[in-house]
Amino acid sequence: MQRVLVANRGEIALRAIRACRRLGYESLAVFSSADANSPHRWAADHAICIGPPAAAASYLNAAALLETAIAMGCDAIYPGYGFLAENSTFVERCNEAGLTFIGPDSECISRMGDKVTARQTAAAIGIPIVPGSEQGFTSAGPAHAVASDLGFPLLLKASGGGGGRGMRVATGGEDFIAQFEQASVEAKAAFGNPEIYLERFFPQVRHIEIQVFGDHHGNHVHLGERDCSVQRRHQKLVEESPSPALDQPTRECMAEAAVALIKALNYVNAGTVEFIFDPASGKFFFIEMNTRIQVEHPVTEMVTGIDLVIEQFRVAAGEKLSFGSTFSEGRAAIEFRINAEDAAHDFRPAPGILKRWRPPSGRDIRVDSHAYENYAVPPYYDSMLAKLIVTGPDRVAAMEVAKAALARFQVSGLETTVPFHARLLQRPEFARGEVHTRWIEDNWRSVTL
C-alpha cells in the first residue's frame, strides 16, 4: 500500500490519517460540504469534497468513493466504523477495482452482518446464544406466532444491522404488533432491510464484548474484554476494561468462545464479539459480531498498549500480528463518550457552535477528538465530539482520574454529556460496578438532573 483513501470523518478519520503518516503511506481525506472545516481535511496529504451534507450523498456514496480512490491513485481504503465499514457489497467492489479494503473480507462481513446467520454460526460451534427465533421476519403476523411460543418479554432486533437501530422491547402480546412494525420501519430506513428477529429479553444484563484480531497467516487472538453496560436506548455511553462484573473463569470462557468463532470464520483484521452476561445466573450468551474497529477500541489500547488502528493497516498489508495470545493487562481504563447532546432532555442532539473547547490533559488522560473552539457541529451525523479515556492501576484509581478530568473539561456554546458523566461517577451503583444495560433508562432523571 502507498496511498490510502480514508472513507470516514471526525476523530476516526484523524486517527487513520495519523496511522498512515506513521507507516509511511500517503493519505487522501474525503469530506462532505458540511465538513469543509473538519480537521481531517487539513491533516491528510490530499483532500477532496465527496458530496453534499447528507451521508447518503457523501460518506455512503460508494460509487463516488471508488471513483475518487481510482482517480487519485489510491490502492487501499480505510473504512473506520459506521458508514460503509460493514457493507459487504462495498468490499466486493473494492476488490474488483483492485483496492485493498483495510478490514475483513466480504464473506465474513456478510455472514456476521446477518444477525440470524451469525447466531446460527455461533450455535454450530457450541457457543451459547440467547434463546430466540431461528429466522427473521418481515411481517408481524408470522413473527407473533413464534413470539407466543418463545414467551415474553422479547427483544426485537434488526437482522441486517446494529447500533441500537431497529430494536424494540415487546413486553406482551398486546404491544408486539406495534413494536414489531416500528422496529421493521426503522431497520428498513437504517439498513435497507426490514427483517426482524426475536430474542428473549433479559431486563438486567451486562453488555460484554471481546476484542479479537486475525491475520492472513492463521493467527487468531483476543485482547480481553470491554464492559459496555452503561447505555441509553441501546447506544453506549461508557465503556471500561476489565469488566467489574466478571470473575476470571467466566472471563476466560468468554474470550475462548470469541476466538473459537473467529477461527471458524478464518477471520482477518479487527473485530468484536459481543455477549450479554446475566449476573444472576452467571451465564453469558452470544448476541452478535461487529466486523470492524469499534468506537471504544481505545479502552483496549490503554490496557494492552497495542495500537489497534496501526495493526489494522499492518494486517491488511499482509504482515503477521505483532502480538500473540498473551499481553499485559495490568491496568484499568474507562472511556466516556462526549456527545453534543442534552442529557437533561432525553439526550436530545445539540448541534451548534463550540464557543469554548478545552479538553483536559495530563498523565493517564487521553482525548480523541476532531473538535476545536468555534467549530460548527453539524446536525447531519453522529453527535460524538470526543472520547475521554482515562487509565489507572485499578478501577478505583481510573475513576479518580476521570473525576478530575471531567471537572477540568471546559466546553460552552452547546450542551454536552460532560455533566452527565460527572454525575454518573458520583453514583454508588456505578462505583460498585452494579449497573446494567437498562440502568440509565431506569434512573434517567436522578442521573441527568
Give the pLDDT of residue 324. 80
Rounded Cα gap, residues 33 and 48, in angstroms: 10
Q: Write down the residue that cell numbers 413473527 correspond to.
A: 143
User: Mind telling me the catalytic residues?
Assistant: 292
Give the pLDDT of residue 160. 77
Domains of the chain: 3-102 (3.40.50.20), 131-200 (3.30.1490.20), 206-448 (3.30.470.20)
Residue 225: all three cell numbers together: 474484554
Q: How far apart are the first and last CA of the chain?
A: 51
Task: Name residues of the chain where pLDDT drops below 70.
Answer: 162-163, 325-329, 448-449
User: How many other C-beta atoms lie within 10 A of the C-beta of residue 208?
Assistant: 25
Q: 3-class SS at 16?
A: helix
Give the pLDDT of residue 131. 85
Beta strands 3-6 and 76-78 are: parallel
Give the pLDDT of residue 163. 65
Q: Write down the residue that cell numbers 493517564 correspond to.
A: 364
Give the pLDDT of residue 200. 87
Give the pLDDT of residue 132. 86
SS (H, E, C) 255-305: HHHHHHHHHHHCCCEEEEEEEEEECCCCEEEEEEEECCCCCCHHHHHHHHC
Give the pLDDT of residue 327. 62
Interval 157-209: pLDDT, tens: 888 776 677 889 999 888 899 999 999 999 888 778 899 989 888 888 999 99
